[in-house]
Chains A and B, each alone.
Chain A
């Protein structure tokens, strides 16, 4: 376990700020790609670091701190999405909105130019699986457990995401 992590575990905010400076790039990139929105990503990044501070005592050093923080961030983002989904379902009570169509709207505007934009425009469920599998390197079983879906659904969402991205990038 690194010295900074040990100091932060002992409650040293300066050490935790150093950890923040070292890891904010990975955490923000993950939040941005999962959320598809910069404003939301900033809030989620802050939430992830506050949660990390809260949970730091449970980090035993079995894995790299970055892996632990990464996993915690995924949990924060997905929990936020589930909460947002519940809020939205309460507002639209009685509608048959599919699980992954909450949140971002799916429009393939012709001016969407590059891969990041195409990823941001994916339906949320497909985007989450694509980001976790193709960018972050999780496998389907991990994704299934994180997102709360079956591994087969994760594979189907991945294929759907790739197909949508290919189509978007060919335009």
Chain B
């Protein structure tokens, strides 16, 4: 048997790929219709009964390979690549734009006709996106290839994709029934459920979600839901508690917004500051003041960002605060932040 250090060295490239796997995969069909009728038929364990065997063990969970700190290292190569690409200039951009879709690899049967790509329950396709990256199309997925000029654009009707794009922002768009995901230079997974709702999880870089006249910016190690007829959901951290996520879902898409907001504010911790920043512009009056107080307690506003300016939603103040939040471009190492700022200077961020 090989010594431990050698095994670790051999395993590291594999584990680096494991870190990019999505934590969540939505099934291609709505399974609730098969669950609901069964609920009335089962006898429920009463509240005073002992817990189910092994259901609530006292084990402390080891950090999985998917742990965010490890994954965060993956940002470097992608953003370094983005920096190089930005400096590559207009010539490269012209080359990248307009290059077509290509099926780079596949397993199992799939159909590709009239700009529609559909995988079976057992097949996968790797779709090349011009010269800027690729999309893994998961089983049971249907999408339409809409455009390659002036940017790459596809529509995900159902199923799931994992995108890996190494390019300046806003060259790759994915439309879903409930929002459009705009690539800002990143890796992410996106799944659409049979009702048109979606879940995006970003592992590297940022994604902008737009829809119903609103937008959310989802940074790495965060996720967001979208629901047809609603603005894109507020992003939440991988570390957010279940209760916070549930309350946020009610705030975004359900009733009882005031109670839900109060729950979010009471549960918000340091990893949730990006969530709170988004809530500033999604609330009004006293609710916005409460969000401001909680955000300021967790991430004090930088110099020049006054309470009044924030409550008036002055763009400059919000942007300065955003830049100072953990996970935003302003707090990245210089070479990562530089890539984003160059992209912004070029007018594509």
Residues of chain A whose beta carbon lies under 8 Å from any beta carbon of chain B: 1-4, 9, 11, 13, 16-22, 24-26, 28-29, 32, 38-39, 41-42, 45-46, 49-50, 53-60, 62-68, 71-72, 75, 109, 111-117, 134-139, 141-142, 145-146, 159, 162, 165-166, 169
CA distance A103 to B159 in the complex (A): 26
Is B107 among interface residues, defined by CB-CB distance under 8 A? yes
Closest to A48 in B: B35
Is B36 among interface residues, defined by CB-CB distance under 8 A? yes
Is B69 among interface residues, defined by CB-CB distance under 8 A? no
Q: Report yes or no: B25 in contact with A58, Cβ–Cβ below 8 A.
A: no
CA distance A151 to B119 in the complex (A): 39
CA distance A20 to B36 in the complex (A): 10
Contact of A53 among B44, B140, B241 (CB under 8 A): B44
CA distance A82 to B38 in the complex (A): 23
CA distance A65 to B146 in the complex (A): 40
Known: A9-B47, A134-B18. A64 touches B56 (CB 8 A): no
Pairs A-B, 8 closest by C-beta atoms: A137-B64, A25-B24, A2-B243, A29-B25, A57-B47, A111-B107, A58-B51, A54-B42
Contact of B191 among A4, A25, A159 (CB under 8 A): A25
Q: Report yes or no: A50 in contact with B38, Cβ–Cβ below 8 A.
A: yes
Known: A39-B121, A71-B54, A113-B105. A50 touches B22 (CB 8 A): no
CB distance from B228 to the nearest CB of A (A): 13
B28-57 vs A: 1/0 string, CB under 8 Å?
Answer: 110110111011001111111111111111
Known: A64-B241, A142-B59. A115 touches B50 (CB 8 A): no
Known: A57-B44, A115-B21, A117-B124. A75 touches B11 (CB 8 A): no
Subset of 24 A-B contacts with CB under 8 Å = A2-B247, A3-B263, A17-B32, A18-B249, A28-B24, A28-B27, A38-B122, A39-B121, A42-B29, A46-B35, A54-B45, A55-B51, A56-B45, A58-B47, A59-B56, A64-B241, A71-B55, A75-B55, A109-B107, A111-B108, A115-B17, A116-B138, A141-B59, A166-B14
- Total residue contacts A-B, CB cutoff 8 A: 190
CB distance from A46 to the nearest CB of B (A): 5
CA distance A63 to B18 in the complex (A): 26
Q: Report yes or no: A4 in contact with B246, Cβ–Cβ below 8 A.
A: yes
Known: A11-B44, A16-B39. A137 touches B27 (CB 8 A): no
Known: A24-B31, A54-B42. A136 touches B64 (CB 8 A): yes
CA distance A19 to B48 in the complex (A): 22
CA distance A137 to B112 in the complex (A): 38
Residues of chain B whose beta carbon lies under 8 Å from any beta carbon of chain A: 1, 7, 10-11, 14-15, 17-18, 21-29, 31-32, 34-36, 38-39, 42-57, 59, 61-67, 105-108, 121-122, 124, 126, 136, 138-140, 191, 197, 199, 241-243, 245-247, 249, 254, 263
Contact of A38 among B55, B107, B140, B254 (CB under 8 A): B140
CA distance A6 to B246 in the complex (A): 12
Q: Report yes or no: A135 in contact with B21, Cβ–Cβ below 8 A.
A: yes
Q: Report yes or no: A138 in contact with B49, Cβ–Cβ below 8 A.
A: no
CA distance A142 to B199 in the complex (A): 30
Closest to A65 in B: B242
Cβ of A71: which chain B residues have Cβ within 8 Å of it? 54-57
Q: Report yes or no: B107 in contact with A53, Cβ–Cβ below 8 A.
A: no
Closest to A54 in B: B42
CB distance from A31 to the nearest CB of B (A): 9
Q: Report yes or no: B45 in contact with A135, Cβ–Cβ below 8 A.
A: no
Contact of B34 among A39, A46, A115 (CB under 8 A): A46
CA distance A45 to B42 in the complex (A): 16
Q: Report yes or no: B39 in contact with A115, Cβ–Cβ below 8 A.
A: no
CA distance A58 to B47 in the complex (A): 5
Closest to B223 in A: A25
Closest to B7 in A: A159
Q: Report yes or no: A169 in contact with B66, Cβ–Cβ below 8 A.
A: no
CA distance A142 to B49 in the complex (A): 23
Cβ of A32: which chain B residues have Cβ within 8 Å of it? 25
Known: A28-B27, A46-B31. A38 touches B59 (CB 8 A): no
